[in-house]
Structure 1
Amino acid sequence: MFLWLPAYPTFQPGWDQEEIHATFFKCISWQVEETLDTISCPYHYFCDKTYPANYPLLVDVLVLLFTTASYLVTLVIMIMDMIYGRGRIFLGQSKRFLLPSGPISLPLIILAFAKGPQINTIFPLSCLGPAILLMVLISALSFDNAADKDFKYTFFVASTVSGILHASLYLDSVVLPFYTGFDALMSSTFSGECASCVCRKEALVVGGKLVRYRGWSMTTFFVVGVLCLRIICKISGENYAGKLLFIKAFMERFSWILITVDCAYLTLHSPPERVMLRVAAFGGIFLLIFLQVLKEACSKIHSMAYVAEKLRWLSTSLQTI
């Protein structure tokens, strides 16, 4: 874990590396000090404030169990919807309460993100929070309760939009200090003045420059845009909804592309923390994306087979006449 700590001659052997590691990754405020060495140390920083200590192990275990259950429910529903086909929907409208983007799970995910900096023992949300948010976005895109009445549908989708935006903001409050500390650790050298004192060649920015992922991002806004278009299409009626279907279909497909890009980027460029756990988490997200692509392919094949059957029946009827 500590092989990638920056080497510097003034690093003191008595310093606790684990404590330094926690300080860098949970630092809320980095203070810059004036320095006379403008060549080798033009920017001198130290951590002024960190998040409180982690919650007990039980909290991490509960979040881990809840997240695993949410993922397995999403996986099973996607598989069963694909098996049942277009004509029959697995669990009908009741499945909304089981999904990560539903009215039960999403508030719990928001609560976990709000307390994310202190959930960092065996299930660090600073590493796995982005995968959880991607799971929520996939859930919101994959399942649409279009059979609901207008008011009920609008209320449900609007609450999902609000929940996604809140979850994205809370996730950024978790990952941005994490990415900032990663940049401070990897792109700096220890000055020896204190355990968190570092020298840098360039100014330290919020979120750092080594990892570009953000929860409040284009991916989130495209998914939110799709959900808003679903509301507009639902309440505008058939006369106007048809004009928006092409835009909605384009935004849905582009949202899936952005989710895939985010997942691949985070798999390759995340800080080297809990590598196996992170690979397993994003591997699970890739599986959901693959199932969605397979579901769309099966739907297209089913539609083409249905059209071919109709054309065959029409041709037979004409020959009979």
Structure 2
Amino acid sequence: MEEEKGLPQQWVTKNLTTTFFKCTRWQVEETADLLNCPFHYFCDSSYAGNYHPFVDLFVLIFLLCSFRSASAFTALERRFKRKYLLPSGPILLPLVVLILYHGQRINSLFPLSQMGPALLLLVHISALSFESRREQRSLRYAVLEASTVSGILHASMYLDSIILPYYTGLDALERSVFSGECPTCVCRREDMVAGGRIVLYRGWSKSTLAIVAALCSRMLGRIFGEEKSTLLVKLTAEVIGWGSVAGDAVYLLRIDIPGERESLKRAIYGGICALISCNALRKVYGAAVWLAAKRQTEKKKKDVSFEADEIL
């Protein structure tokens, strides 16, 4: 790219890339060259600029603390009575929503457009892995679960406001040709869609709906009691939720996104995949212990009933 107005080429390239990644509105124009440029687009929005690098550093520390919190609760669940410090808890989840709400401008040291999905995955994992047992059928439990559902939905929506412009701009850079009519004017062979066609991950997706369904099934189980029907619905919803979250984590780990630091991505999403595996094993082990205890209880009841019949 040639220098513009005496500015260094590196600065111009970086500034243009930021414009593409942060563009929230692409305008289509009529074109006379239907053969070589059937679709002509340009960015019709402006970017307010990045926050101070201190904000990025805070978000990075917050992400690491959230991961450590989820890992600690996974390893030492029985030692913690209340799980308010989980990423899906009433303390950290509002901070997650706040970070994602302002995430469009967190781009100095720690681009949230690249690592934001990891933050939402941590919320999904902690929401599926841990549930409050001490507030059964209480108003506090209902409020906590409802706020968790609301927080997850808002976090998913705000994450999309960050990653969709990024993925759209990435698609525009990778699959378009500059027309030269303006700095962001591009020619394309196909129409441009929100989020592009390179990365298929979305915050507001089937995974989010599966997590919400699992949380709602838990609430129904608490209200109507854990009968066979409600227990079956709950287990089915949780299995679907775990499958969806694991699929997202593996997809984000394996997909090759141009411009992203591969080592950092593998470290983050590799750790998330390991956390999912540990929680899945813990759930399977807990279910096996519960089934064994239930069978033992039923066996004791039968033995007591048999002894009573003999006495009579």
The alignment's TM-score, normalised by the length of structure 2, stands at: 0.88
Q: Which deviates more from structure 2 when the two are superposed, residues 228-237 or residues 263-272? A: 263-272
Question: What amino acid does structure 2 have at the position aligned with 1:252?
Answer: E
Counterpart residue number, 1:250: 236
1:114-125 → structure 2 map (5 Å cutoff)? 114-125=101-112
Counterpart residue number, 2:221: 233
Change (3 A) 1:172 1:270: farther
| TM superposition shift of 1:203 | 1.0
Contact 1:29–1:50 under 8 Å retained in 2? no
Change (3 A) 1:162 1:304: closer
1:144-223 → structure 2 map (5 Å cutoff)? 144-148=131-135, 149-223=137-211
1:22-101 → structure 2 map (5 Å cutoff)? 22-81=18-77, 89-92=78-81, 94-95=82-83, 97-101=84-88
Is 2:253 the partner of 1:286? no
1:1-40 → structure 2 map (5 Å cutoff)? 11-12=1-2, 14=4, 16-40=12-36
Question: What amino acid does structure 1 have at the position aligned with 2:79?
Answer: F
| TM superposition shift of 1:242 | 3.2
Q: 2:98 aligns with which of 107, 111, 119?
A: 111
Q: Deviations over 1:126-177 (max 9, x none)?
A: 0111111011011001001032042111111000000000000000000000
| TM superposition shift of 1:296 | 2.5
Equivalents in 1 of 2:86, 2:283: separation in Å? Answer: 20
Question: What amino acid does structure 2 have at the position aligned with 1:91?
Answer: F
* Runs of at least 4 residues off by over 3 Å: 11-15, 300-314
Contact 1:25–1:177 under 8 Å retained in 2? yes
Change (3 A) 1:219 1:22: same
Q: Which structure exhibits the higher relative contact order, with contacts defined as CA atoms closer than 8 Å and separated by 6 or more residues?
A: 1
The alignment's TM-score, normalised by the length of structure 1, stands at: 0.86
Equivalents in 2 of 1:247, 1:270: separation in Å? Answer: 36
| TM superposition shift of 1:28 | 1.2
Contact 2:217–2:237 under 8 Å retained in 1? no
Q: Deviations over 1:80-126 (max 9, x none)?
A: 12xxxxxxx2211x22x110001110111101001111001221110
Change (3 A) 1:165 1:303: closer
Question: What amino acid does structure 2 have at the position aligned with 1:275?
Answer: E
Equivalents in 2 of 1:188, 1:158: separation in Å? Answer: 44
Equivalents in 2 of 1:231, 1:307: separation in Å? Answer: 23
Gaps of 5+ in 2: none
Q: Give the share of equivalent positions with the same residue, in percent.
A: 44
Equivalents in 2 of 1:169, 1:100: separation in Å? Answer: 17
Counterpart residue number, 1:3: none
Q: CA RMSD in A?
A: 2.4
| TM superposition shift of 1:311 | 10
Q: Which deviates more from structure 2 when the two are superposed, residues 194-203 or residues 14-23? A: 14-23
Equivalents in 2 of 1:236, 1:47: separation in Å? Answer: 53
Q: Deviations over 1:287-321 (max 9, x none)?
A: 1111112213433554576579889999x999xx9
Equivalents in 1 of 2:299, 2:141: separation in Å? Answer: 39
Work out the number of aligned pairs and report it: 298
Equivalents in 2 of 1:232, 1:303: separation in Å? Answer: 20
